[in-house]
Structure 1
Amino acid sequence: MVQASDYINPLIVQRADPYIYKHTDGYYYFTASVPAYNLIEIRRAKTLNGLANAAPRTVWRKHPDGSGAMSQLIWAPELHYIDGKWFIYFAASHTKEFDHNGMFQHRMYCIECDNPDPMRDEADWTEHGQIVTPLDTFALDATVFEAQNKLYYVWAQKDPAIKGNSNIYIAEMENPWTLKTKPVMLTKPEYDWETKIFWVNEGPAVLHRNGRFFLTYSASATDENYAMGMLTVDENADLLDPANWQKSKTPVFQSNMPIHQYGPGHNSFTVAEDDKTDILVYHCRNYTDIKGDPLYDPNRHTMVQPFTWNDDGTPNFGKPVPYNYD
């Protein structure tokens, strides 16, 4: 049986918003936000622990002019394999300045690689530009998943009519960089644990098990208050009807104060080397005394741990595990 102690933790230091995908070639592929927020890198290894020492390969860099689209603050890349091609979804801004609401000015973008090896060369990646949504507002943290022979896009976005920084939306896709249907809001910050300092729902991740889709997300400020929530829907339901999604009233994963693991979140999912055990991937800090804006504190580290399942078929993520090396 796979144990948390089987894995190095933190697996990769100073990598926030981690995304790990196990491909059909047997490799684990890893990408995440880098501390300088200036590029997208991929690393791969045959084992999860192997990612710790795998050499990263830069596959895309921010635009150099510093004032145009995709030129500032590259956040939260995710690597997906769709219909034989690689796609990376990420958020980027055209400036480091805030808008009139005091928020960053990120929009969502997509790049594509049709080479079987996504790590070969930066030139292999083609830009598809911005993924356009009806609201031209702060948007980030996109992920995609397939269900009922359709491709769905899930992301976080600001609605000026709703209090808070971002809500979670879903839409069907026409192709991997174009929405087909009108976005539907699945969740907004409403509970006390979602509104600590900042009203935030962001970082969606989708898990398909036991006849249901589980959509986790992160809420509140990116300090020790950061925590994960979850939505659940039947796999045969209309995924674009928000009434079909049930929202947990309490966090499903949160800070483990006694062992100094604070603010776990912005997670993804993968499987262990046995291809059976589910693995939770997330970032976490080991201190609360953050100097300045938590966004610019680089010490959100990538963590991995197996999780189990409750008798009712829902995931039991447990608690953040302690570091097993200094």
Structure 2
Amino acid sequence: MTNYINPVVVQRADPFIYKHSDGYYYFSASVPEYDRIELRRAKTINGLAHATPRTIWKKHETPGVMDNLIWAPEIHWIDGVWYIYFEAESTVFNSNGGADHPHRMFCISSDLENPMDFSGWVEKGQIETPIDSFSLDETVFELNGNLMMVWAQKDPAIEGSSNLYIAQMKNPWTIGSEPVMISTPTFDWEKRRFAVNEGPAVIVKNGMVFITYSASATDENYCVGMLYAKDSSDLLNADSWTKLDHPVFESNPENHQYGPGHNSFTKSEDGRQDLIVYHCRDYKDIDGDPLYDPNRHTMVQPFTWDQNGFPVFGKPVSNNYD
């Protein structure tokens, strides 16, 4: 089993690692300045620690759309085209003089073979939803020939910061079905300081679709919950989904790891081991708004599966280098 460097990339939150058929791992994440989208690649996960980042898109300089707080980019390969999903604050959507974060979801694409070539990336625009409200953390997956999207969004009629929704896609940047809410914060551990369900990630295995998500405030309270459904069920029926009543991944004071969350999944170099990729801090006390504390670091560790075919993530591992 490979021993992974942890943290593998420092000061990178909301990490996403995609293992492509060209033999490279591609890495995207939020940068502390929240002003751009970076990519890095390497033939090994540990190699990402030393890979040179390439800026492939920057926030708009003119106030309006995509002009601030660029969050959580994810890179995907869909039908021979690269796509990056992300969210951006757009002052045009701010309805109360700047008191909220008027984020919406956006997409860029590149049909070049090498996504590190910034010249290939073009803006596909906003991913619009029926509710024009704060939305973020979109991710996609393919199942039975259908492209599905899961994301977090605020419904003004529901108390709390965000809920989880799923829809089928018309194309990689356009929702093609009525969104269905599959989770809203209900348990105490989902509502510590803020009532939040966000950062969904999908893994399909053992006849099941598992969606992990992050809950509560982005400090030591941040943790990972999980939904699941049979892969043969109607995923657009909320009744197909079951939510566990407990976190599946949370702070580990023994290893000095606090607030693990906004995870993704990838595979080991030999393809045999499932890996969870997440961000975490190695201290608890934060000065000011946790959003602007830069020290959420990218961590990677293997996980296992129990006799019922469910993932077992264990606990966040300790840092293994200074």
Q: Runs of 5+ in structure 2 lacking a partner?
A: none
Assess if the C-alpha contact under 8 Å between 1:229 and 1:248 holds in 2: yes
SS at match of 2:266: strand
Q: Alpha-carbon deviations, 1:158-184, whole Å to 9, x = none?
A: 000111000000000000010110100
Q: Does 1:33 align with 2:33?
A: no
Who is 1:111 aligned against?
A: 108
Distance 1:270 1:200, change over 3 A: same
Q: Alpha-carbon deviations, 1:172-228, whole Å to 9, x = none?
A: 000001011010001001100000000000000000111111000000000000000
SS at match of 2:49: helix
| Alignment equivalent of 2:18, drawn from 17, 21, 25 | 21
| Alignment equivalent of 1:62, drawn from 52, 59, 63 | 59
Who is 2:7 aligned against?
A: 10
Who is 2:306 aligned against?
A: 310
Distance 1:99 1:283, change over 3 A: farther
| Alignment equivalent of 1:319, drawn from 307, 312, 315 | 315
Who is 2:292 aligned against?
A: 296
Question: 1: distance between equivalents of 2:99 and 2:69?
Answer: 16
Question: 1: distance between equivalents of 2:269 and 2:294?
Answer: 29
Who is 1:190 aligned against?
A: 186
Who is 2:165 aligned against?
A: 169
Question: 2: distance between equivalents of 1:59 and 1:207?
Answer: 27
Assess if the C-alpha contact under 8 Å between 1:96 and 1:104 holds in 2: no
Question: 2: distance between equivalents of 1:161 and 1:276?
Answer: 45
Q: Does 1:85 align with 2:96?
A: no
Q: Which amino acid aligns with 2:244?
A: S
Q: Which amino acid aligns with 2:6?
A: N
Question: 2: distance between equivalents of 1:259 and 1:269?
Answer: 22
Who is 1:120 aligned against?
A: 117
Question: 1: distance between equivalents of 2:287 and 2:124?
Answer: 37
Task: Return the offset for 1:103.
Answer: 3.0
SS at match of 1:243: helix
Who is 1:223 aligned against?
A: 219
Q: Does 1:155 align with 2:177?
A: no
Question: 1: distance between equivalents of 2:321 and 2:87?
Answer: 32
For 1:227-246, list aligned pairs within 5 A. 227-246=223-242
Q: Does 1:268 align with 2:264?
A: yes
Assess if the C-alpha contact under 8 Å between 1:153 and 1:170 holds in 2: yes
Q: Alpha-carbon deviations, 1:40-93, whole Å to 9, x = none?
A: 01000000000000001111000111x210110000000000000000000001
SS at match of 1:287: coil
Task: Return the offset for 1:96.
Answer: 11
Task: Return the offset for 1:95.
Answer: 3.6
Assess if the C-alpha contact under 8 Å between 1:72 and 1:96 holds in 2: no
Task: Return the offset for 1:115.
Answer: 0.3
SS at match of 1:193: helix
Q: Does 1:253 align with 2:233?
A: no
Who is 1:145 aligned against?
A: 141
Q: Which amino acid aligns with 2:56?
A: V
Provide the TM-score with structure 1 as the length reference: 0.97
Q: Which amino acid aligns with 1:242?
A: A
Q: Which amino acid aligns with 1:58?
A: T
Question: 2: distance between equivalents of 1:189 and 1:166?
Answer: 8
SS at match of 1:292: coil
Question: 2: distance between equivalents of 1:94 and 1:299?
Answer: 25
Q: Alpha-carbon deviations, 1:114-152, whole Å to 9, x = none?
A: 00100112x311101100000110000000000111000
Assess if the C-alpha contact under 8 Å between 2:105 and 2:135 holds in 1: yes
Question: 2: distance between equivalents of 1:138 and 1:313?
Answer: 35
SS at match of 1:228: strand
Who is 1:211 aligned against?
A: 207
Q: Which amino acid aligns with 2:82?
A: W
SS at match of 1:50: helix
Task: Return the offset for 1:99.
Answer: 5.0
Question: 2: distance between equivalents of 1:79 and 1:129?
Answer: 16
Paired residues in the alignment total 321
Question: 2: distance between equivalents of 1:104 and 1:166?
Answer: 12
Assess if the C-alpha contact under 8 Å between 2:65 and 2:92 holds in 1: no
> Structure 1 vs Structure 2: percent identity of aligned residues?
61
